[in-house]
Amino acid sequence: MQPKQNELIVDLRQMILAIETAISLVGMNDTNHGKRVGYIACQIGKQLGFSDADIQYAFELGMLHDCGVSTNQMHANLVNYFDWNDAHIHCEIGYRILKNFEPLAKFAVPILYHHTPYPNLANHQLSIYDARMANLIFLSDRVDILSATHYKTDILLARNNILQTIIGQYNNTYFDPELVKTFEVVQRSEAFWIGLEDRHIVRYVWDMGLISNNQPLNLQQLKQLSLILSYIVDQKSPFTAQHSLRVANLASYLAHNYGFLENQCKKIEIAGLLHDLGKLHTPDPILEKPGPLDEVERSIMNQHSYETYEILRHIHGLEEIASWAAFHHECLNGGGYPFHPQERDLSTEARIIAVADVFQALVQDRPYRQGMALEQVLRVLDDQVRIGKLDKSIVDMAKQRADQCFAVAKGLDTSFDLNQQYQNLLTTNDS
């Protein structure tokens, strides 16, 4: 069935790739971990005789397995310790954010248990399928962690030591012996290890991305998934908690008052939710610095909106939303960053998100200042209009509804449907 005119339909596989791209940014110097885990799981699955459907499932599970990781410190602990005591935290977060999103709910349970040692899986009421997939991802994940320092240098020389570590220390205590035995067969091929190198793994995932998931997301589902992504971003620092949610709410409020039709308002809302995706690549200490950023820190911070663009622009159907989200620090006077578009290329939608972002950031507590009162916010907005940063018509509209905009930006207006969905993401797991 052909989509109706102006109806937005997005392929789920492309969104899964975007999620992995975003989450992998947390790794800072290693942005391919999820891709490699998906690849390893697929190679083991093929050797085991998995069906095509199960191979695709293993690939997507590998891509999504670390969706509960937001901070650099959590990522570092998962990399530096084979069995980190708090590894369960990101498993529980991943489970919680996916379990109620129907298109990805099937991955929630394996993600919850993907750091559970093989013998302990029997203590939980898991299906045989979920238990096997969880342990397959655990094995694939740890193989990649053991291999990480050898890529680009001596991976073919190190592979035997990696195998012996898995067999000698962790077989049967952490991993299903059948999976380990199968890995032992798969790893004999040099091609298996060479394929893990960055230049090859990116091509592998590109090829996998050409395979449609055959499960399109409608606008409402895309909005729900965007909320999940915004939650991941906003967990990176307590100073950005609910920032993306409130920017989205305020952008939606302004868009409705501007006169946009409902579907366009929803798209603007989605762009608001996704606008800071690139901040997953910003080091935690920069986000939480209790003072002005120096020149180097500012140059790093100024990269985040380009990262947002790169994550989103490859998704068919999200081209407009990608630019609206990525332009949230652009200015009418050609300043801002990172693209410096001309004023005529800054759409009304992008201008609305820019105003919503500034408004919300000003009222929110940050490590270097307390949130501002409404009068201060309006003065700053006027100043930014005067020097050519923000659109006067949109700022004037916000000023005309200043009290309501302030309530939305502060999270005092709970009438938006996103607020309840966000609260659902905060509930403890019920596994």
3: cis peptide before it, omega within 30°?
A: no
Give residue 5's identity as a one-letter amino acid code.
Q
Q: Under a CB-based contact definition with an 8 Å cutoff, are residues 240 and 398 in contact?
A: no
Among 181, 279, 399, 410, the one annotated catalytic: 279
Q: What's the CA gap between 25 and 284, in Å, rounded? A: 12
User: How is the chain split among helix, strand and coil, in percent rounded to 5?
Assistant: 65, 0, 30
**392 labelled catalytic:** no
**CB of 213 closer than 8 Å to CB of 368:** no
For residue 216, the SS3 value is strand
DSSP assignment letter at 99:
T
Q: Distance between CA atoms of 350 and 331, rounded to whole angstroms?
A: 10
CB–CB of 172/118 below 8 Å? yes
Of 138, 143, 8, give the one whose Cα is nearest residue 66.
138
DSSP 175: B
Do residues 138 and 115 touch, judged by C-beta distance below 8 A? yes
Q: What is the DSSP string of 26-43?
A: GGTT---HHHHHHHHHHH
Q: Which residues are catalytic?
A: 279
